[in-house]
Structure formats: structure tokens, C-alpha cells
Amino acid sequence: MRRVYLDHAATTPVHPEVVEVMKHYMLQDWGNPSSIHSFGREARAGVDEARARVAALIGADPDEIVFTGGGTEADNLAIKGTAWELRNKGDHIITSAVEHHAVLHTVEWLEKQGFRATYLPVDGYGMVDPGDVEKAITPSTILVSIMAANNEVGTVQPIAEIARICREKGVRFHTDAVQAVGQLPIDVHALGVDMLSLSGHKIYGPKGVGALYVRRGVRLTPLLHGGAHERKRRAGTEGVPGIVGLGKAAELARLHFDERVAHYRRMRDLLWERIRERVPEVRLNGHPTERLPNNLNISVLYVEGESMLLNLDMKGIAASSGSACTSGSLEPSHVLLAMGIPHEVAHGSLRMTVGVSTTEEDTDYVARSLAEIVERLRAMSPLWNARAR
């Protein structure tokens, strides 16, 4: 049976060249990078090279890169690290209602520790208004954290504008760019952000490794204490295989940037066009143009998300949904709700994110399969039947 993976926002396969580099640092140059001897130096060279590669992808200097155990840890380090470092300066944090839980739950936890937070609303497309950021800043604001692009609906946030406002007001600005890296051009010095999170397994690198860009001069209280690793910002012997894997993935993302982005956009647009041709009463969630090239998030009216996913899975197609039944809680995706999407429409949401491996034939197969599935599920749906009358 044909298998079509359309959940690249959840994770990506590891690129074979990345695997090769990782193997080398497990079978050959496996020393501890902190050791003085040649075994250590070999491993250290690999880490340095990876650091330079990650820096090059986002326009940073190598010593502004802190390797972490993933995007979530990078978010935690940026936010908690700032809160503890600047708590004598202020206690107010600004973020948005559509952030990833790694940001939201961290900020919520800090509120329990006595900090104050503002969760900015978004418009119907899921976009933050820079004017709202400006209005929310107070003399006790120590951090603004707004994601570069949303993982659920792909909406791209006006980061450059927000960074400018934060700079003018002297407030630190962090952006969770976990989904944006490799799809949107990022130059941290040109953008003027203070910190930026990224993750390996979203860009054809391994899981369990990520990085936080920290602009020179920005101080953080570390999450992990211990050795002086990562310039005393993240203790623990470097996860060399993961780090060199991330480095290689970053290099490939930079070298193949244009062709990948063009491919994602083409496949995603084809998929949407074909679905629209075959499935009536579907609507796009998120901004029509300011969205990640690989992201298609739609709502199929009168049908529920998990039942669509199960049916798609039986046809070898992998996707995700923002419905309550797939969220693990009783609520649909907080992102869709923040956008003002009615519950029943959020329940019928389907997120499909294309990747390097997606083909035209895949888009045709998925559109045809989805049409069949939706027809069957609608025949069973009291909402569809009530409407037909």
C-alpha cells in the first residue's frame, strides 16, 4: 500500500547524510569534547563545526549558539533563563495565545512563581498585531516571546516589526522559530532578535537536539548547572552525535533552502487545489499567503478530525488534527480557538504538512482518498444530514 507522510510539522525523517556524520562521531571520533587529549580534540572539532553550521543557517556568530536537548529546552532556557536573570529588573512577560505549549506552559509556570504574564490575542488568521505588543509593554516587562511561525496553521508572525518595537523599548525579545527554520529566511542580526529557538527533528535532523541563539551580551540563568559547557549556559557533556547531526541538517537546510521551499510550496498548493476540486465545504485555516510553505490546515465541515485521521491512516496517509479527540484533553487546539474558529469547525480540522519526499502523485492520491472518506463520514453525520434538508 502506498504510504504518504504528511505530518512533517510533527517530525521529519533523518537525512542519510546526517546519519553518516552521526555514525562517525559514535564509531570513530567518540571522545569527550572537553578532554585535552586527541580523542577529545577530535570530538571538539565536530562540535565546533556543527556550531558554525547552525550559526550560518540563521546568520549568527558561532559563539552565539547554545546546544540544547531540543526546541522545548531552548524555549525553557530562553524564558526561564531570562526570568531568573532579570527578576530584579521586572516581573512581566508578554507572549501570544497561539504559542507552542513549550512556551505557554513555561510562562504559566512562571506566573505561579510570582511573575505576571500577558497573552496577546490573535486575529482570525492567527496573527499577532505588533501594535498590541507595543501597548502591552510596561516598565516592568522583561521579555517578549512570539513565535516566528505557528506549528498548527503555519501563520507567519511579523517578527521583524516586533523585534524593532522591543529594541526601541529596551525589552528582550525571544522567538520560537522551531517550525520556521529551513522554511523562512532567517538572519538574526538583521532581524534584531535577542534569542531564537530551533530544533533538529523538524529539519531532517535527529530528535533530542536543538539550539538557542543568544545574542552576544544577553545573559541567562542556566537551567542545568554542572560543568562549564556551552559557555556556562548549559551544563552537561555535549550530546555529540545529536549535535553533529543537527549541524549537518542545518548545512543541508541552508544549501537546499530555495529548492526545498519551492518544492514544499508547489506540493502544498497542488494538494489544496486537488482537495478543493473534490471535497465540497472545506475551508482554509490560517493566513492564505503569510504561511509556512509546507503547511496546509483545513476544516472539513460536518465531520470530525480523529475519524478522518483513522480513515486516512488505513489508507497509509499520515496527518494530524486540532480536534478535541486528538488533543488528549477535551478541548480542541488552543490555536484554532484563539483564532475565533467555532468549536465544531475546529473539531473538523486537518493539518497536512508536506516535505522533501512528497510527490505530485501523493497529492492526487490524498485528495482522492480524502474525498471518499469525507463522503462516507458525512453520510453518517447528523450535521450533514440536517443541512441537506
Partner 1 sequence: MYSQKVMEHFTNPRNVGEIPDPDGVGTVGNPVCGDLMKITIKVKDNRIEDIKFLTFGCGAAIATSSMVTEMVKGKTLEEAMQVTNRAVAEALGGLPPIKMHCSNLAADALHAAIKDYLSRSNGKKAEDRGEEKT
Binding site for partner 1 (CB under 8 A): 302-307, 310, 314, 323-326, 328, 330, 332, 343-344, 347, 379-383, 385
CB of 372 to partner 1, least distance (A): 13
CB of 344 to partner 1, least distance (A): 4
CB atoms within 10 A of CB 303: 26
Of 304, 266, 298, 260, which Cα lies nearest the Cα of 282? 298
- Rank residues 124 and 342 by Cβ distance to partner 1 and give the closer one: 342
User: Which residue number, 185 or 280, has a Cβ lying nearer to partner 1?
Assistant: 280
Q: Pick the closer one to partner 1 by CB: 36 or 330.
A: 330
Has 166 been annotated as catalytic?
Answer: no
Q: How far is the CB of 362 from partner 1 (least distance, A)?
A: 23
Taking the complex as a whole, the smallest distance from the CB of residue 323 to partner 1 amounts, in Å, to 6
C-alpha cell at 199: 530544533
Output the smallest distance, CB 327 to partner 1, in A: 10
Taking the least distance from each CB to partner 1, the nearer of 133 and 341 is 341
Beta-ladder partners of 143: 93, 172
What the block records as the C-alpha cell of 9 is: 510539522
- Would you say 288 or 382 has its CB closer to partner 1? 382
Cβ proximity of 69 and 230 under 8 Å = no
- The rounded distance, in Å, linking the Cα atoms of 325 and 387 is 24
Cross-strand bridge partners of residue 318: 5
Considering beta carbons, is residue 26 or 310 the nearer one to partner 1?
Answer: 310
The nearer residue to partner 1, 216 or 389, going by C-beta atoms, is: 389
Residue carrying C-alpha cell 546546544: 67
- Least gap, CB of 119 to partner 1 (angstroms): 22
Min CB(233)–partner 1 separation in Å? 38
HEC profile for the chain?
CCCEECECCCCCCCCHHHHHHHHHHHHCCCCCCCCCCHHHHHHHHHHHHHHHHHHHHHCCCHHHEEEECCHHHHHHHHHHHHHHHCCCCCCEEEEECCCCHHHHHHHHHHHHCCCEEEEECCCCCCCCCHHHHHHHCCCCEEEEECCCECCCCCEECCHHHHHHHHHHHCCEEEEECCCCECCECCCHHHHCCCEEEEEHHHCCCCCCCEEEEECCCCCCCCCCCCCCHHHHCCCCCCCHHHHHHHHHHHHHHHHCHHHHHHHHHHHHHHHHHHHHHHCCCEEECCCCCCECCCEEEEEECCCCHHHHHHHHHHCCEECECCCHHHHCCCCCCHHHHHCCCCHHHHHCEEEEECCCCCCHHHHHHHHHHHHHHHHHHHHCCHHHHHHHC
Nearer to partner 1, 269 or 306 (CB): 306
Least distance between partner 1 and beta carbon 16 (Å) = 31
Of the candidates 56, 235, 325, 356, the residue annotated as catalytic is: 325
| Active-site residue set | 325
